[in-house]
Amino acid sequence: MRIWLVYSLMLTCSLTWAAPKRQPAQDIEQFLVEAGVINQIEQLRQNVSDTASGLVVNAMGLLGVPYRAGGTNEATGFDCSGFVRTIFERSIGLVLPRRARDQAEVTQNVDVKDLKPGDLVFYHTLRQAFSHVGIYIGDGKFIHSPRPGHQVRIEDMRDAYWAKRFDGARRVNELFPSTVSTLSELPKRLPGLPSFPSLPNLPNLPFGLTSPTSNAATAPSQPASALPSGSPSVNALTPLTAEQN
């Protein structure tokens, strides 16, 4: 009898020793799944994509509207910054500054290789940096209101005229919200979810919840170099020059 008791105790100990320990991340992942948080996050990502797509569609709907200095509506026409301002206000309810340079100062710097539809692209025209702005629509192209006598149209960023005058790209944070990086942030982004005041930041959460990067950037304080004298004329077969807005 004692022998069987010893064997039983040894078997119990071995099973206890062999049982894998659950990692904190596994417990958190299981909770997120059971609470339906993962589905809500995926819906949030989808909504972000839909918002950017809707903004581009709204911009495309104004193709052909004539340029007008100081213009902010399709009835009378747009200048470049007025066009951008109107599209963002109508699409996401965000009122951007009126001037192109000011729009660059309140938006986030983004590398050209990371451009997404809905980002802003800036150019130096009329010998001034950040004097022209358009909305990136994908495939290396942007939509803008160029200059008097012309209409809202699409340009290719790779065309020589625009490539050598490119000042940089900016992102409107409200169009692409940062991904949730910690559990403590989830209640703020997903109403109805309980708070987690005692949990630390977890930089490697499952399901791709990575920490966002922030890069506060503003337009440079010094203007880009002036355009060389004797620049080639622009005709219907080349990209349009643009007015300062």
Nearest Cα residue to 124 out of 172, 179, 165: 165
Q: Which of 13, 80, 124, 150 is catalytic?
A: 80
150 flagged as catalytic: no
Cα 112 to Cα 18: distance, rounded to the nearest angstrom: 52
Record the tokens describing residue 6, joined without a space.
Answer: 């010893």
Which residues touch 241 (CB under 8 Å, ≥6 apart)?
A: 125, 146, 147, 161, 234
Cα 53 to Cα 60: distance, rounded to the nearest angstrom: 11
Nearest Cα residue to 240 out of 152, 168, 171, 172: 152
DSSP 34: H
Phi, psi of 60 (to 5 degrees): -65, -30
Q: Which of 13, 124, 132, 150 is catalytic?
A: 132
For residue 99, the one-letter residue type is R
- Report, as residue numbers or ranges, the catalytic residues: 80, 132, 144
